[in-house]
């Protein structure tokens, strides 16, 4: 039986991966510094060996990697506007931390690291869908930092023979995403506000589009990436998404139906560093992992609204 480490285990995606591993009986360690993760996200994960620690500290990385075979590296400061406000903090949490983790993973004899990449790597070029053969063109400090992490994965695979797999997530949403921060993902913020009868804000004209990906699909992609033969996936980068896109205005209308919100959104100027349109080509993950999304956007949104309605995220 493999032994797994999940970084960012008290965060939205990390806790969801840890829950899936524990549910199938695997042995899981988690690490989080609670910078954006929450203690309440650890409910139900009591069997996880949990460490409070910051990956910017090499000693914490060493402790976390000891005895581990496979790492899911989800820890990050995941927000474009946060990185615009404080690029150095984003760099420390996304780049320094990733390098420290890789060094510790190699020293501990970890076999594989599966990395949470970001669709922001593609930048704002108009060509859609985005496929992995396109040249990265990050436009925000966050996108640069996540892309640097991807390149470190590639280098550790080439130079040291560590097995690495990069999964480029496209706007993940679902239960356990924090709705409280100004830096939270848009769907978490909209769900919370609209269920509370508060007006949501759309930055820009609302015609920007995203390939919103329900969390269950991302968990499935990670489990497949951990299990796939090294010859097929090591050193590879692939999109993880649903390959359908929707505008924010359309999303608002859907959420109005699901939440019963009857007001209109407020419109404010577009945020700097923001990307206009995003849509993934997911054929590579299909070929290399056998990945295909199991939950579509509407069903994912319905489940997500129900989770927040039942008090999740408070």
Nearer to ligand UD2 by Cβ, of 19 and 121: the residue is 121
Q: Which of 7, 90, 118, 237 binds ligand UD2 (CB under 6 A)?
A: 118
SS3 214: strand
Q: Which of 203, 249, 256, 307 binds ligand UD2 (CB under 6 A)?
A: 203
CA torsion sign for 285, 81, 305, 310 is positive
Task: Mark residues 239-278: x for contact with ligand UD2 by CB under 6 A, - for none.
Answer: ---------x----------------------x--xx--x
Nearer to ligand UD2 by Cβ, of 48 and 279: the residue is 279
Nearer to ligand UD2 by Cβ, of 53 and 138: the residue is 138
Strand blocks (E) in 21-118: 27-32, 49-52, 70-73, 112-118
Q: Site residues for ligand UD2, window 273-312 (CB under 6 A)? A: 274-275, 278
Q: Which two tokens stand for residue 186?
A: 């848009």
Residue 122 annotated among the catalytic residues of the structure = no
| Beta carbons within 8 Å of 24's beta carbon, 6+ residues apart | none
Q: Compute the C-alpha angle 160/169/16, nearest 5°.
A: 95
Q: How far is CA 258 from CA 78, 188, 213, in A?
A: 27, 14, 18
Task: Tell whether residue 199 is a contact of ligand UD2 (CB under 6 A).
Answer: no
| Burial class, 283, CB count within 10 angstroms (exposed 0-12 / middle 13-18 / buried 19+) | middle
The active-site residue, picked from 122, 142, 152, 169, is 142
Task: Tell whether residue 185 is a contact of ligand UD2 (CB under 6 A).
Answer: yes
First-to-final CA distance of the chain: 36
Task: Tell whether residue 80 is a contact of ligand UD2 (CB under 6 A).
Answer: yes
Nearer to ligand UD2 by Cβ, of 68 and 185: the residue is 185
Write out the residues near ligand UD2 by the rule CB under 6 A: 78-80, 118-120, 169-171, 185-186, 189, 201-203, 208, 210, 248, 271, 274-275, 278
Catalytic residue positions, numbered? 142
């Amino acid at each position: 039986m493999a032994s797994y480490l999940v970084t960012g285990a008290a965060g939205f995606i990390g806790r969801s991966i840890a829950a899936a591993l524990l549910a199938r009986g695997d042995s899981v360690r988690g690490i989080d510094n609670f910078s954006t993760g929450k203690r309440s996200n650890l409910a139900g994960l009591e069997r996880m060996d949990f460490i409070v620690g910051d990956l910017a500290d090499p000693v914490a990385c060493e402790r976390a990697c000891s005895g581990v075979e496979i790492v899911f590296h989800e820890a990050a400061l995941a927000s474009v506007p946060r990185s615009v406000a404080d690029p150095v903090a984003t760099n420390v949490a996304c780049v320094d931390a990733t390098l420290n983790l890789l060094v510790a993973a190699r020293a501990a004899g970890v076999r594989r690291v599966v990395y949470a990449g970001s669709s922001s790597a593609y930048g704002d070029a108009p060509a859609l869908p985005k496929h992995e053969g396109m040249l990265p063109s990050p436009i925000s400090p966050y996108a640069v930092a996540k892309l640097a992490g991807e390149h470190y994965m590639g280098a550790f695979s080439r130079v040291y023979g560590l097995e690495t797999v990069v999964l480029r997530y496209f706007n993940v949403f679902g239960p356990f995403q924090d709705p409280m921060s100004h830096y939270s993902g848009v769907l978490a913020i909209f769900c919370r506000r609209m269920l509370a009868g508060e007006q949501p804000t759309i930055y820009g004209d609302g015609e920007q589009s995203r390939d919103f990906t329900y969390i269950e699909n991302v968990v499935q992609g990670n489990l497949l990436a951990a299990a796939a033969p090294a010859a097929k996936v090591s050193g590879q980068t692939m999109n993880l998404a649903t390959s359908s896109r929707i505008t924010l205005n359309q999303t608002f209308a859907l959420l109005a139906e699901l939440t019963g919100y009857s007001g209109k959104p407020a419109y404010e100027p577009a945020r700097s560093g923001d990307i206009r349109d995003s849509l993934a080509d997911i054929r590579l993950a299909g070929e290399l992992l056998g990945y295909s999304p199991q939950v579509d956007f509407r069903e994912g949104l319905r489940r997500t609204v129900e989770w927040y309605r039942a008090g999740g995220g408070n």
